[in-house]
Amino acid sequence: MNTKQITYLIETAKTLNLSRAAENLYISQPSLSYQIKVIEEEVGFAIFDRIGKSIRLTPAGEELVVSLQRILQELQFAIEQAQNMGERYKDSIKIGFSTRTSLYYLPEAIKIFEEKQPSVQIVPEIQSPDDFVSSFMRRELDMILLLREEAEKLAGVSLHPLFISHIYLLCQNSDLLAQKEIITADDLAHRTLLVNGGSSSKLRQVQQRVLSSVPIHYYNSPTHDFTLIQVASGKAICLSPGFLNDYSGQFAWVPFDCPEQFDFVLVTHEDNRITSVKVLIDILQDLYDGARDRF
């Protein structure tokens, strides 16, 4: 199966209409039908069920198309990165982390790094922790940002301390709580607190301790973005780790009085002796050391 055939399958699966898919692909419908038949013969199972003039994905076809979409995206990314390498760079460092804000100083680090190592490209890969850890262990990534307790479970790695992130109260700038230098659980009495929303187990512990110690309203938030919208609307407040702060100034981030914290490290392969990787680590550590209390 070639990339053109993969594109044919994905477009047909998206439209579930052979005529429309063929039109979008700028080929004739008989040609598209023939290509799908060829692919089905190659893989050995039906990708689409034909029901009169309609089609639908078979369970096996649905699984195949999902995998092919991911493969096509990865292929496109690989081609683009190779093009970048060919034009300007001789090598690259791929670094995985979960959110843009969790490695806040990376853009500044890239500027400094390129002055020192102009032929090496820094490639950020923002993925879920499960995905980037798996990619790292397959040696598809050179470096990842991870909580120390998670990093210590990995074999054959080196840990490089980067920063410790604390827990903050997140509220509107006009909120009276925003005027405080530090927030305690008692300060949250009779307010509405957003909880869960993909919170880590450590943050959930803090949330539950607050809920059990002071009279407070709460409701569940499915995601951090949902939480931000609710805080912006004035409906609620939340507790959040500082590494999620984008420093836009839209919200007040006030330190919350609790012992829990998040210890982040950069993780590299134990046998990695590449000079440029060490240069990047040193730059990031210097930047975070200079802003130790911001997170």
pLDDT digits (tens, 9 = 90+) for 255-292: 999 999 999 999 999 999 889 999 999 999 999 998 77
Looking at the fold, whether 146 and 273 belong to one and the same domain comes out as yes
Looking at the fold, whether 15 and 77 belong to one and the same domain comes out as yes
Note down the domain range covering 112.
98-162+268-290
Looking at the fold, whether 272 and 153 belong to one and the same domain comes out as yes
Looking at the fold, whether 29 and 118 belong to one and the same domain comes out as no
Q: Which two tokens stand for residue 277?
A: 């990787």
Looking at the fold, whether 273 and 157 belong to one and the same domain comes out as yes
Q: Is residue 242 part of a domain?
A: yes
Coil, helix or strand for 248?
Answer: coil
Our count of domains for the chain comes to: 3
Provide the pLDDT confidence category of residue 149 given band limits of 50, 70 and 90: very high
Rounded average pLDDT over 108-133: 92
Say if CB 241 and CB 203 are below 8 A apart: yes
Looking at the fold, whether 127 and 80 belong to one and the same domain comes out as no
Q: Is residue 90 part of a domain?
A: no
Looking at the fold, whether 250 and 275 belong to one and the same domain comes out as no
Q: What is the CB neighbour count within 10 angstroms for residue 282?
A: 15
1 Cβ neighbours under 8 A, 6+ residues apart: 39, 42, 43
Residue 293, pLDDT score:
67
Flag whether pLDDT at 176 surpasses 60. yes
Looking at the fold, whether 246 and 110 belong to one and the same domain comes out as no
Provide the 8-state DSSP code for 258: -
